[in-house]
Structure 1
Amino acid sequence: MARFKNVNCQAASFSFNTLGWILAMTCMGLAEWRVWHMESSAPSRGLACIGMWRVCTYQHNRPQGRVIACHRYSYSDTYLPLDIRISQNLLLAACLLGVLGKVLTVTGLLRVYAGRLQKDTTCNRFVASGVLSIIAGAFILTAVIWNRHSVLHEEGIRFPPSFHIPFRPDRQEMGSTVPVAVLAAFLLLLSGLLTISFQLPRNIQVYPEVSQV
């Protein structure tokens, strides 16, 4: 009974990890991390949604109606502020760590279900997977906190003139991507804690590792 309880715990952890990883990938591509309201600048009056990899402008005062224009970033763009550059790397690292953690969890579960339990090897896989998930969640939270700091302090970004976006808007707020990122971080942290809590039941026979000569 204890064995199946632990296995179910790890299966739930794997589900949380998978959902958190999917949300992390999603929020990395969305543009609504910050929403800029541009009201006093006539050429660029409208909204600007600033993400980690692109910025999209929504202008309503054009004769053809609502105009949407998106511009993608690259590592060679020198106008990006430090917080966006670091957050890009943090989110990329979080997604990579999430994948690696999923692989370790799957291999550990396969050992448990197959009955090939080597205590050190199996537990180490789960512990390593849990640590990676916790680090990934912490990276996403760091990006969220830094984004919130930039919004609260109304920090500007010197976009190229062709973007038609002022250095600093009339007002700015956090966008709809932030709750998604927070949920992704929470699921990854929860997955990591559940994975680390795995313990092999004492009544299960543990087979020693056999080295092949």
Structure 2
Amino acid sequence: MIYLAHTAHRQFLGLVAGFLAWIITMATIGINEWRLWHVPDVSIITSGVAWVGIWRVCFYSHALPKMENCKSISISDTFVPTEIPVAQVLMVMAVICGLVANISAAVAVRMVYFSLEDRRNIKLVFVLAGTLYLLTGTLSLVPLVWNMNSVLSNSTIDFPPDFYLPAAPVRQQVGSAIGVGIFASILMLVSGLLFLTYQYAWRTLRSEAPRDTRDPLHGPWTVTTAQGSELWNGVNQGVDNFAYHTDEVS
């Protein structure tokens, strides 16, 4: 016995994975550890390590009034390399696109598990959700890989004097934010592929449905109506959920 709701179990997992990836992507934006700069002079940066993110730079110091010192990085700052303002824009776009993707995916899964009688737009909604998931993963993956390449090539940043950072560190390390963000991007791409590979139920189950119940608009299931005591004064008092109509004819 096959039901319409049974055709979207993988897509339900894709929705959960996409929502989790979206949460991690938002966390990636706020994490400062995109780049770890190891500085030679520890007279001010006493920890010897500075955290360079896409929104601010932070380090610990016992020589300054505050233990943790942070300086904001604006998209209009001319000293930052191109990959940082690009990351600011693309990561924000990824969060917005991911939100729309989650909403579309939730609507698509709801149409399957709590289906309406007219199911003509199910495939379209699944394709829309999958496309948005793929777009979200791409928008976040591009700046993450770009900044990781800058770290691996030991690119320099000409910080202003009030940042207390040298133009070039002794060495750089890829921060945890990049690793977490790449994981979220891959998870988002997987979710998109799961939604794009959804097969519309009437095509999937066409060979198992009786000939007289194959309907390309409403699926290959018969609609059973309530009988007996459920019919009162000519009004149907109980109609089954269309998502749970089988291809079997009683």
TM-score (norm 1): 0.87
Contact 1:111 1:117 in 2 (8 A): no
Per the alignment, residue 211 of structure 1 pairs with none
Instruction: Name which of 53, 58, 67 aligns with 1:51.
Output: 53
CA RMSD of aligned residues (A): 2.3
SS of structure 2 residue aligned to 1:49 = strand
Out of 31-40 and 113-122, give the one that drifted further. 113-122
CA apart distance, 1:118: 4.5
Q: Match of 1:47, as an amino acid?
A: V
Q: Following superposition, which runs of at least 4 residues in structure 1 exceed 6 angstroms of deviation?
A: none
Contact 2:52 2:58 in 1 (8 A): yes
SS of structure 2 residue aligned to 1:62 = coil
Per the alignment, residue 158 of structure 2 pairs with 158
Per the alignment, residue 182 of structure 2 pairs with 182
Cα 1:155–1:121 shift into 2, 3 Å: same
Contact 1:94 1:136 in 2 (8 A): yes
CA apart distance, 1:26: 0.1
CA apart distance, 1:73: 2.1
Greater C-alpha radius of gyration: 2
Counterparts of 2:87 and 2:175 in 1: how far apart (Å)? 16
Counterparts of 1:63 and 1:21 in 2: how far apart (Å)? 37
Q: Percent identity?
A: 31
Cα 1:144–1:108 shift into 2, 3 Å: same
The count of corresponding residues between Structure 1 and Structure 2 is 206
Contact 2:140 2:181 in 1 (8 A): yes
TM-score (norm 2): 0.75
- Output aligned runs, 1:59-70, within 5 Å: 59=61, 62=63, 67-70=67-70
Counterparts of 1:197 and 1:43 in 2: how far apart (Å)? 55
Counterparts of 1:42 and 1:117 in 2: how far apart (Å)? 72
Higher helix share: 1
Cα 1:6–1:52 shift into 2, 3 Å: farther
Contact 2:159 2:165 in 1 (8 A): yes
Contact 2:43 2:63 in 1 (8 A): no
Counterparts of 2:169 and 2:118 in 1: how far apart (Å)? 59
Out of 9-18 and 108-117, give the one that drifted further. 108-117
Contact 2:44 2:64 in 1 (8 A): no
Per the alignment, residue 225 of structure 2 pairs with none
Out of 199-208 and 117-126, give the one that drifted further. 199-208
Per the alignment, residue 112 of structure 1 pairs with 112
Per the alignment, residue 134 of structure 1 pairs with 134
Cα 1:2–1:39 shift into 2, 3 Å: farther
Contact 1:53 1:72 in 2 (8 A): yes
SS of structure 1 residue aligned to 2:121 = helix
Q: Match of 1:81, as an amino acid?
A: P
Cα 1:182–1:119 shift into 2, 3 Å: same
CA apart distance, 1:182: 1.4
CA apart distance, 1:143: 1.5
Counterparts of 1:153 and 1:117 in 2: how far apart (Å)? 58
Contact 2:4 2:113 in 1 (8 A): no
Contact 1:52 1:88 in 2 (8 A): yes
- Output aligned runs, 1:1-213, within 5 Å: 1=2, 3-40=4-41, 42-44=43-45, 46-59=48-61, 62=63, 67-116=67-116, 118-202=118-202, 203=205, 206-207=217-218
CA apart distance, 1:41: 6.3
Which stretches in structure 1 are left out of the alignment for 5+ residues?
A: 209-213
Cα 1:92–1:117 shift into 2, 3 Å: farther
SS of structure 2 residue aligned to 1:172 = strand
